[in-house]
Amino acid sequence: MIYVNVDTDVKIAVEDLNPDGKKTILMVHGWPLSQKIFEYQKNVLPDLGYRVITMDLRGFGKSDTPAFGYSYSDMATDIYMVIKCLGIRNFTLAGFSMGGAIAIRYMSLYHGYGVSKLILIGAAAPSFIRRPGYPYGMTREQVNELINSAYIDRPHMAEEFGKMHFAKPQSQSLKDWFKYISFSASGIGTIQTGRALRDEDLRNELSSICVPTGIFHGKKDAICPLEFANVMREMIPNSKLFAFEDSGHAVFYEALEEFNETLILYTSD
């Protein structure tokens, strides 16, 4: 684990596996998790010659928790600072859920600096909540309930939200693993990024994505419905949708073998 100073008082925890790998992928986790969720990709990709970089977003995992600075633009800037510190170019940027939304903001804000391919995994985009002209996802009131629950009983909120990641029965141990990863988040980070999920709207930024984009999405996603992926497919130039038949939100685990095979094939072109 290394730590990258992205601001005077904020350090981001970064894991850099196989730095000499021939292909590089940078993976960004979702809400309210950490880089640990990519364990079942990190187990495989380095053996195939990949350099795998994962990071804890500010307020999550082992990264610092400032009081403020949790907009998508703030977190996209953290990604940029990590990229500059590591000196990586010509890499795949992959974001899961909220991490996918932040990856889109990175592409818009930094013109895709260094990125050769983008992968959006169950992305909470272009909007996590319903808006005029966009009748998909949760309502503002439902997200407010999640945020309010984080103020009162965050462990319970995280446990219940974690259950929504799966469309198929999972072992209790696996569900506990998700729960404990969520518990490693800070209250501030959970609440502040919950507000970002509620308030940010990326619809006007999708057309600016200038690299091939793979949209990986579970057909039974109960958190970010498949309609999200269909909208992104229509609005992102040079994008391709990979829909996983029996998977929910945690497609990187629930469709593990198919997901990893598709990821490897897509990044090998």
Q: Which residues are catalytic?
A: 97, 221, 249
Under 8 Å between Cβ of 15 and 53: yes
Q: Which two tokens stand for residue 107?
A: 């592409």
Q: What are the C-alpha distances in Å from 43 to residues 50, 76, 120, 236, 260? A: 11, 26, 20, 31, 11
From the list 255, 227, 29, the residue with the least C-alpha distance to 128 is 227
Which uninterrupted H or E stretch holds 182?
helix 172-183
d(CA 254, CA 249): 8
Under 8 Å between Cβ of 224 and 123: yes
In sign, the C-alpha dihedral spanning 187, 188, 189, 190 is: positive
Please give the distance of CA 208 from its chain centroid, rounded to a whole number.
Answer: 19
Q: ω into residue 32 within 30 of 0, thus cis?
A: yes
DSSP 8-state symbol, 249: S
Interhelix angle 187-199/98-109, rounded to 10 degrees, is: 70
Q: What are phi and psi of 158, to 5 degrees?
A: -65, -40
DSSP 8-state symbol, 56: P
Interhelix angle 140-163/172-183, rounded to 10 degrees, is: 130
